[in-house]
Structure 1
């Protein structure tokens, strides 16, 4: 009997040892041998993922990812990237299927439409006769300075881009630092080689005035003024109004230089439809060429430096960019790129990316998954970008120069998109950035005199793009998670002002885009109520909590769904397509998609909809009717943000195995290592942030709450470097027995103790620890249902 007991105990000890050895092996894989080796993460980035705006391949005019493939650094001011087209619904200025390149700009936006903006300071190496217009994308024969290129030569990686321009036989390479960039051109033998810079260029239109000055025989400086009259964001309706300053040096001394100046009539439109027209191209083609001019201001300027080159001769150009001043641009360049060592700048950019990407390490990914994951993480680290110069100066909402104290001024806040996944991700791995963005929005509200928080901010512009009050959501979410390095009282007051200015009003619903706005404003009020309660403002908390129930005011019990209402209380006519009718009280959605957006009161929503069983059945149908390509569709439309929380609703409905099933399917089907690898617009990090969170097994339903849903991880292990109270911790998610078949969670432990819940609190994540999930090929319908 004793011998038998000893054998049993021995087996238990062996089993326990095997368990801990396996656990240790997983951690060892993460640390040393797996995908996530600290020095190599940048190698997994493929900037071509999503770099297309093809409406044909997307099946919708919105196109695909609209990312750019050029060189940048984490949250950097500068993005040196090829541009193939300006404006329309292609905000990145580039689309992979285009066959010619207009030039290489120093600023770009990522994953957006609405005509786009930036794309400033467009540099192009050329040979032969000088051309002063860009020419058209598909011109044959070529009429402008743009060039066809060898698609097989095109290379892109984190911090680097290169391509061979076939019309000129020139190799163009580029890399970036946070506030500056460097280009290296390898020329053929030619007596008339040059580098030319189109100072008027701007995605979605044109800059409306420019200035350039030759400082010495290697250096120029100047600025480009971009106003709404020149189109840009929303073709001017986005109110983007900024000045880009530059300080530029060339490795080859000036011999022949000049400026071209197009005579743009005072009455001429400067917006996209004009800039793209044949007559505007003719004006720029007929620009006056002013040789050896040392200083010039005008409406449509360009600069060139011309020289002879030997075969294989390399000419380099480096530029500092600022949104504050020429002196700021000069300081930025001198601080970051001190000499002409292109490889050193490139290596530093890669090092910055390795450090940033190292915030999450994964193990057990397939060769395709590792690239998709780290490219997704990379895309979440483009914006919100820094616009503070190296000396701490930034341009405020009052157009005056301010000194940033205790934060970095940031820009490009695509609020309606990024409150859902991008900022909940950053609260875990980069809370300092969240503080920066809140400080930036609050100081903008202060400096501009608007005293409310903008929903879609671009370089201090209150663009008004999209809907809802997403800045209030981001603020409340951060505050509830203890992220509070900003003027809390002022932030709260501006949040109140925001919800009072934009909300459901005395009717308790909106009559314009009635479903989408009513539901979003109700959620915004709930977020504000949470912050008010935490601040001890009990009356405010009660008020906004009551207003958060406004979503019930547009519930139509006759048709059993949300329905737009008129000001007199009557309903809008019910369409023949029912809740599948696009734009019926919604924005970029239909009522079936938008109607699930009651994240703050899922129980109340379920009660309206007829109970859990009915809702689960409806949701299953919603997903079952979705095409497995996850391209634009009338059901679960992952290509657009309003449904991004919906797969996680099953956790709230007592069926977490369905969340596990569908998030795995979406991760595997909607994200790929290809140009068409994003089914919808990247939208400034949101599309990729969803993948990053879901693939490691965590995602919120309701920002403003500290609850994250647990779902089926893609990987055997993920290690997140998290920050709590400015202390760095590590939170690890282990998925034992994980495989393409074993997608269902059988059980869980948190820090070695049994964990029966399908959710976890943010504070438990931020404190560090280990969540261990045991996976299997069949649902465990008893785990996570309480």
Structure 2
């Protein structure tokens, strides 16, 4: 009866009669995920079908991408039309990318114009591993599911039209690079590649190879370019091109299409599909996808029915498992890190990953991977170190085998160091050491660390010499963006390097980096208690406005004078590795007063990364933990909820969702590279964490909240140890079988 109640609820919620037969065996966890959360309000998440860390995500496109790359996501929940479905889509990022290998469907006579495929829609259904929608203009039901490296589509014509159209439309992908190549093969399949590139203004580009096969026989197949049929050829290359398949609906009830994808070759795309789909039916692929989600989401087991809170939590956890995505093929091939259009291929002995939004994800997502999915996190670390061996540099914002170098700082280092100090050491330590020293010490031609020469000479990047005109800034020309922010980010990386080197026995060099990691204090202005940009001669750069967010470089809201995507308020406490030092520098009274002002005066911005740990910083001062426990649920409930607008802004590859996961559990990694969690009141009364066999030998930890109060006074483990400072080390956490959050009498 309980199962049938949930089933009825989901059918009514999603408006799909089909879901009744297809998904009546869904687990409680699968039913708790709502992929429509974050598909509006600039959350940039997509509802398409995907498996954990999947290379493909077939999803609807609600914009006309034949004409331009969007400033908005490829799918916006409230957009009036669907134009087609892309096979490779990157959910939760802020610049146009992918939307590759796009399919379009329509009823009626062949018409290649974009207006023909534009349709209103209804009856959307989305579950982990499955998406469907009814295209009202065409009376077509579209369904899609996925494996790790392939997609399966099923289209059913419900109307009375005499023809059914299906297009592979390579001119309708999302990125600035359009088109590709098409080869019609003797067996009826189509192979080729899709162009992609110029992400966030980067120059790099790539080719996404595909194997496209219509399983339903009887189509008339025609190549086209510039909306004109091209006769007499079997292959074509260019920008606005595609393949049209036309079916007589008198002879067919539905059309199924299978698509394999590879970043190496069309042959590998075919092998990926054949190995992963084999002879499975559409429904069997859906079942396998949902089983894969059940396994990874089931690492966190919530006891009891918590309604929408459970949906919000499991959807957030779901969103953290989309990126980085697998990029190696089933045979081990992957594109090596390269700055040229033609990437080399190799055989890997690990799973290779791609799409590392590291300035965002080093803060919350990778610490979450290290805790719950250490096997995958290990392979992500190995991936980054292999990228260093191939290109000479660790990635900064890697995409499809190229480093776009988007954002600031040196963010791969905190990820690797954090993994190392949480016990993930099954990687080449000497390569890591080499990479750390090169990144940290090279002062010329170091595009991963613009301004590294001044950073070591002065202890900071000066505002009056950023190695070029900031109005001409790009991520690839060495001009510094946000001198204060960049200094702070380098400091965090250097703290990690220092601790790593000392642990490896190089105390002299380690202490050098640790000393350098404190240099942000040279930018602390005691007159106004803000971090403040300085000039080369040591003078404060004027004018100074702590509210300014629009001064730097050429983008709106790109940052105040000296700051990256934020103001002096948003960076006033950004010293994750040195929070205790900052408390001492300010004094507890001023620290608490100004930190309170961040929230009371509207400076806190949960939608951007630099200040997302600030609610937890009250734990660093006496009697401050109660403020943390008060603020976390306020921020969570205001910004995260069960609906399309249920993420407060761009999810940034799962970073905001990971913040929510940790905050609901009551443990938060506020300082990546420091294996300690800040504690706050858990959202649920009882949660069991099932740790991975790879690193943690199948241990479990039960988190209990023994009070209905929003506050707790003590966290106590099963052995009776009290964690008095409202923090717990990683080692203590994973070696505890139980952690009770207790409200003491008369407190």
Same fold (TM over 0.5): yes
Q: Residue 245 of structure 1 aligns to a residue in which SS? A: strand
Q: Residue 691 of structure 2 aligns to a residue in which SS? A: strand
1:657 paired residue among 618, 626, 631: 626
Q: Residue 712 of structure 2 aligns to a residue in which SS? A: strand
1:509 paired residue among 457, 460, 464: 460
Q: Residues 764 and 576 from structure 1, CA distance in 2 versus in 1: closer, same or farther, beyond 3 angstroms?
A: closer
1:185 paired residue among 155, 166, 189: 155
Confirm or deny that 1:460 pairs with 2:401.
Answer: yes
TM-score (norm 2): 0.87
Shift of 1:214: 2.8
Gaps of 5+ in 1: 1-36, 55-63, 135-142, 263-286, 627-634, 781-786
C-alpha distance in 1 between matches for 2:745 and 2:311:
26
Confirm or deny that 1:121 pairs with 2:101.
Answer: yes
Shift of 1:577: 5.6
Cα deviations across residues 254-291 of structure 1 (Å, max 9, x unaligned)? 431101113xxxxxxxxxxxxxxxxxxxxxxxx33024
Cα deviations across residues 313-365 of structure 1 (Å, max 9, x unaligned)? 11111111111111111111111222362111111111111111001111256
Shift of 1:726: 5.2
Shift of 1:173: 0.8
Q: Following superposition of structure 1 onto structure 2, how do residues 237-386 of structure 1 map, counting pairs within 5 Å? A: 237-262=201-226, 287-291=227-231, 293-310=233-250, 313-339=253-279, 341-364=281-304, 366-386=306-326
Q: Residues 614 and 713 from structure 1, CA distance in 2 versus in 1: closer, same or farther, beyond 3 angstroms?
A: same
1:743 paired residue among 710, 716, 721: 710
Between stretches 295-304 and 94-103, larger displacement belongs to 295-304
Confirm or deny that 1:606 pairs with 2:547.
Answer: no
Shift of 1:453: 1.1
Please name the residue that 1:163 is paired with: 133
C-alpha distance in 1 between matches for 2:665 and 2:233:
58
Shift of 1:759: 0.9
Confirm or deny that 1:647 pairs with 2:615.
Answer: yes
Confirm or deny that 1:767 pairs with 2:735.
Answer: yes
Cα deviations across residues 594-647 of structure 1 (Å, max 9, x unaligned)? 1211111112212322x1122112212222233xxxxxxxx1111111111111
Q: Residues 777 and 179 from structure 1, CA distance in 2 versus in 1: closer, same or farther, beyond 3 angstroms?
A: farther
Question: In 2, are the aligned partners of 1:239 and 1:462 still within 8 Å (CA)?
Answer: no
Q: Residue 205 of structure 1 aligns to a residue in which SS? A: coil
Please name the residue that 2:328 is paired with: 388
Shift of 1:683: 0.4
1:481 paired residue among 404, 413, 422: 422
C-alpha distance in 2 between matches for 1:675 and 1:356:
24
C-alpha distance in 2 between matches for 1:131 and 1:180:
28
Please name the residue that 1:57 is paired with: none
Q: Residues 101 and 452 from structure 1, CA distance in 2 versus in 1: closer, same or farther, beyond 3 angstroms?
A: same
Q: Residue 183 of structure 1 aligns to a residue in which SS? A: strand
Q: Where in structure 1 do 4 or more consecutive aligned residues deviate above 6 Å? A: none
Please name the residue that 2:347 is paired with: 403
C-alpha distance in 1 between matches for 2:360 and 2:219:
49
Q: Residue 702 of structure 1 aligns to a residue in which SS? A: coil
Shift of 1:771: 0.4
Please name the residue that 1:76 is paired with: 54
Q: Residues 643 and 89 from structure 1, CA distance in 2 versus in 1: closer, same or farther, beyond 3 angstroms?
A: farther
Confirm or deny that 1:668 pairs with 2:645.
Answer: no
Alpha-carbon RMSD across the aligned residues, in angstroms, is 2.1
Q: Residue 488 of structure 2 aligns to a residue in which SS? A: helix
Q: Which has the greater radius of gyration?
A: 1
Q: Residue 699 of structure 2 aligns to a residue in which SS? A: strand
C-alpha distance in 2 between matches for 1:144 and 1:732:
55
Please name the residue that 1:678 is paired with: 647
C-alpha distance in 2 between matches for 1:155 and 1:428:
32
1:65 paired residue among 43, 51, 69: 43
Q: Residues 470 and 365 from structure 1, CA distance in 2 versus in 1: closer, same or farther, beyond 3 angstroms?
A: farther
Question: In 1, are the aligned partners of 2:375 and 2:695 still within 8 Å (CA)?
Answer: no
